[in-house]
Amino acid sequence: MSSKKPVRLLILEASQNRAEELIVLLRKAGRATRAHQIESAEDLQNQLKEQKWDLLLGVSEANDLTMEQAIGIIRESERDIPIILIAEGRDPESITAGLRLGALDVALDDDDERLTMIIERELSNLYHRRERRRAEKEVSEIDRRNQLLLASSTAAIGYVHEGMHIYTNSTYSKMFGYEDPDDFAGIPIIDLISSSDQGKFKAFLKSYDKNESESEEFICVTSEDKQITASLSLSPATYDGESCTQVIFKVSSDADTAYEERIKELSSQDLLTGLPNRASLIEQLDTAVDKSSNQGQASILMYISIDNFAKLRTEAGISNADLVLADLANLLAELTAEEHLIARFGDDVFALLYNSGDKEAAAQMAENLRGQVEERMSDVAGKSYQSTTSIGLALVSESSSSAEDVISRAYQACTSMESGNGVNFYQAAEVKMGEAGVSLTSENIKDMIKTAIENNAFKLMFQPIISLHGDDDEQFEVLLRLVDDDDNELLPGQFLGPAEDAGLLEKLDRWVILQSIKMLSEHRSTGSKAKLFINLTHKSMSDETFLPWMSVALKAAKLPSDAVILQIHESDATAYIKQAASFTKGMSALHCKTSINHFGCSLNPMNLLKHLTPDFVKLDDSFAQEIDQSEEKLAELKKMVTSLQETGVLTAISGIEDPMILSTLWQAGITFIQGYYLSPPLENMDYDFASEDT
């Protein structure tokens, strides 16, 4: 399933600490969670009735409920929920017994790496099963509609298998003098062709390429031996799951043919841009996937997203934004050679099917497209608008299972670029750096971190945190990047693990804080009152020497104590709750503020606030992604915000990419917002908060 979508996780485990460890395990694997620790058989039944779940992790027995009973309850409810049993020992018999119970796999309690791989595999399998069921429902519905269209069509349509009719519609039967379409059962198609044209018809069949549509004109005969001249079109098809040939007879004229061709052209065209539309692109991509599988002919899909288009539409208006989009479409079409296909894929997304597997050439072309779009000034209604694009590329190869799989990979490559205005090739789950995609081992990354700390070679970015109620508070979150000599970047999720293994987290935290407050001090000297949210790891949070050091650092920088808000991850606060409580209390004694980041993903998030006293709580960005999915999601958010407000903390939410949810967030009571719709991370604290009117 999509790594952006939170995993709905059921946990059968007596220990809450161990349950939280499992949640942290998924978080480290890049999976946000909505988890519930099963309390009893009745509790499990109620949870299955109330909502949809993605995964069950658990031991053989906990809270008077065995895994066997849990599996039985899930089967009885007919839910598709992968079940992974965590064995308490290394006895092979217990592993075999777990599989016999119905668990999809059995993991060892002390092997988190293997457990993570099992979870990823089963979530991926679940996603594909759900997609298959969804596709089957769509196909069934399409088949039903097609049957209605066929039956009511004024065109004479039939299906032929090995020369015999297996279906004809009413128009087809009446054209040849039959009242009932069933009368065609067992009649060969050649019997409809005049004897004078049967030789021509046989030659036509021999030359027919089953991969393409073919048409020819023949003299036909009706059941009353009346001759008619009709155009016969053949095309490959499937009827009732059986490969066959679609046959269409039509008494045609040149005008009718031209009209039909025009209708066909319009049905595959996007009306706004004049480019081929999404359906046309997917049809060609399906063909490309087949060619890569059957003939080894690779190609590449480019997913071209216009950065911050929602903001442009708000500023320019819908009509003007459409004109900008049409202008960019013309530019992309001009830059795309005829052998490739450029299409409009979505509202603010184009797609380009590059007819070659040459990754280097495709990347160069993508970079050229990106650069040309960035230089383009679209003049509309007396104003000029400049746009940038994020382009994700994915190879269509023999390992590509479907067009959907290729699109998903290109989309992931596109959206994984935090700052936008770039080109990125899809890479499987491994750490790579730079355009050359050089693979990095954990040891490589550790060495890079040590060097970066010694040489001040990390890069700090600043993303604005904006008041949703019109206040002009200047606040930024500090985001860390590890860069190499060629300015290629790694994100924290890619290097914090190796940093912890090397015992470098405390050094890393202190480097970030010192550099951040140095830059903040310089920025505030210009009259600004900016404040920084700085992320802190659990190592520094648990370090008794940290708070005295922090006090000295702020005094040395001559900064007020409230200029820096130290931010800890919810999973760290949950796993080290005593240390977190001591940390927030100590920060309060220094008159410094604290924040909990990625809030709302633990088993009992509100329970944290019974022990901690943070000033801010920033909700996980998955809430922003889910808010418009259902009333249930919105009610869940409002309930959490209300509970947080009752404790006196200020609320924020990250991941804002859609302006349409801002009014909902305002009604829910959210205080601050952050995300790419508002601003990407900046290299300097130069965002104009006074101009922001949210």
Q: Is the pTM of this model over 0.75?
A: no
User: What domains does the chain contain, in order, with CATH numbers?
Assistant: 7-134 (3.40.50.2300), 153-260 (3.30.450.20), 268-429 (3.30.70.270), 462-477+518-685 (3.20.20.450)
Task: State yes or no: pLDDT of 242 exceeds 50.
Answer: yes
Task: State yes or no: pLDDT of 517 exceeds 90.
Answer: yes
Q: Which of 241-255, 300-314, 560-574 has the lowest mean pLDDT?
A: 241-255
Q: Rg of the chain over CA atoms, in angstroms?
A: 31
State how far the Cα of 381 lies from the Cα of 398, in Å rounded to an integer: 48
Average of pLDDT values for 478-492?
85
pLDDT bucket at 478, cuts 50 / 70 / 90: very high
Residue 190: which of 212, 210, 215, 164 has the closest Cα?
164
Q: Tokens representing 226?
A: 């009346």
CA angle 254, 260, 264 (to 5 degrees): 145
| pLDDT at res. 286 | 87
pLDDT bucket at 259, cuts 50 / 70 / 90: very low
Average of pLDDT values for 205-233?
82
Decide which of 211 and 510 is more confident.
510
E-strand spans in 279-405?
299-306, 341-346, 349-354, 377-380, 383-386, 389-396
Task: State yes or no: pLDDT of 663 exceeds 70.
Answer: yes
Average of pLDDT values for 72-87?
88
Instruction: Report pLDDT digits (tens) over 106-145.
Output: 988 878 888 999 999 999 888 888 888 787 777 766 777 7
Q: Which of 244-253, 295-304, 606-615, 626-635 has the lowest mean pLDDT?
A: 626-635
| pLDDT at res. 315 | 86
State how far the Cα of 573 lies from the Cα of 608, in Å rounded to an integer: 8
Task: State yes or no: pLDDT of 261 exceeds 70.
Answer: no
According to the per-residue pLDDT averaged within each range, which of 136-140, 211-215, 305-309 is highest? 305-309
Decide which of 622 and 407 is more confident.
407
Task: State yes or no: pLDDT of 87 exceeds 70.
Answer: yes
Task: State yes or no: pLDDT of 431 exceeds 60.
Answer: no
State how far the Cα of 614 lies from the Cα of 588, in Å rounded to an integer: 9
* Alpha-carbon distance values, 91 to 67, 97, 620 (Å): 17, 10, 39
- What does the mean pLDDT of the chain come to? 85
What is the DSSP secondary structure assignment for residue 653, as one 8-state letter?
E
Q: Are 170 and 148 in contact (CB under 8 A)?
A: no
State how far the Cα of 303 lies from the Cα of 562, in Å rounded to an integer: 43
Q: Are 570 and 600 in contact (CB under 8 A)?
A: yes
DSSP strand pairing (377-380 vs 164-168): unpaired
Helix or strand or coil: residue 110? coil
Residue 274: which of 226, 342, 338, 208 has the closest Cα?
342
Task: State yes or no: pLDDT of 486 exceeds 90.
Answer: no
Task: State yes or no: pLDDT of 428 exceeds 60.
Answer: no
State how far the Cα of 220 lies from the Cα of 193, in Å rounded to an integer: 4
pLDDT bucket at 77, cuts 50 / 70 / 90: confident
| pLDDT at res. 453 | 87
Task: State yes or no: pLDDT of 146 exceeds 80.
Answer: no
Q: Are 433 and 443 in contact (CB under 8 A)?
A: no
| pLDDT at res. 662 | 87
In sequence order, the 6+-apart residues with CB closer than 8 A to the CB of 514 are: 553
pLDDT bucket at 439, cuts 50 / 70 / 90: low
Average of pLDDT values for 477-506?
85
SS3 annotation, 388-408: CEEEEEEEECCCCCCHHHHHH
For every residue of 8-20, DSSP letters joined together read EEEEE-S-HHHHH
Task: State yes or no: pLDDT of 49 exceeds 90.
Answer: no
State how far the Cα of 64 lies from the Cα of 83, in Å rounded to an integer: 18
The percentage of residues in the chain with a pLDDT greater than 70, rounded to a whole number, is 92
Task: State yes or no: pLDDT of 309 exceeds 50.
Answer: yes
| pLDDT at res. 212 | 60
E-strand spans in 222-293?
227-239, 242-250
Q: Which of 29-43, 148-162, 643-657 has the lowest mean pLDDT?
A: 148-162
Decide which of 323 and 179 is more confident.
323
Average of pLDDT values for 389-395?
93
Average of pLDDT values for 250-273?
61
State how far the Cα of 427 lies from the Cα of 359, in Å rounded to an integer: 12
Helix axes 92-101, 67-76, angle to 10 degrees: 20
Backbone angles phi, psi at 43, to 5 degrees: -60, -45
For every residue of 118-183, DSSP letters joined together read HHHHHHHHHHHHHHHHHHHHHHHHHHHHHHHHHHH-SSEEEEEETTEEEEE-HHHHHHTT-SSGGG
Decide which of 96 and 463 is more confident.
463
Residue 25: which of 83, 127, 99, 110 has the closest Cα?
110
| pLDDT at res. 694 | 44
Q: Tokens representing 292?
A: 């890569």
Decide which of 473 and 642 is more confident.
642
Q: Which of 38-42, 394-398, 570-574 has the lowest mean pLDDT?
A: 394-398
State how far the Cα of 444 lies from the Cα of 461, in Å rounded to an integer: 23
Task: State yes or no: pLDDT of 566 exceeds 60.
Answer: yes
Task: State yes or no: pLDDT of 203 exceeds 50.
Answer: yes
Average of pLDDT values for 303-309?
92
Instruction: Report pLDDT digits (tens) over 117-128.
Output: 999 999 988 888
| pLDDT at res. 93 | 77
| pLDDT at res. 255 | 43
Helix or strand or coil: residue 300? strand
The residues pairing with 243 across neighbouring beta strands, listed in sequence order, are 238
Task: State yes or no: pLDDT of 186 exceeds 80.
Answer: no
For every residue of 470-484, DSSP letters joined together read S----EEEEEEEEE-
Task: State yes or no: pLDDT of 569 exceeds 50.
Answer: yes
Residue 623: which of 610, 639, 607, 611 has the closest Cα?
639
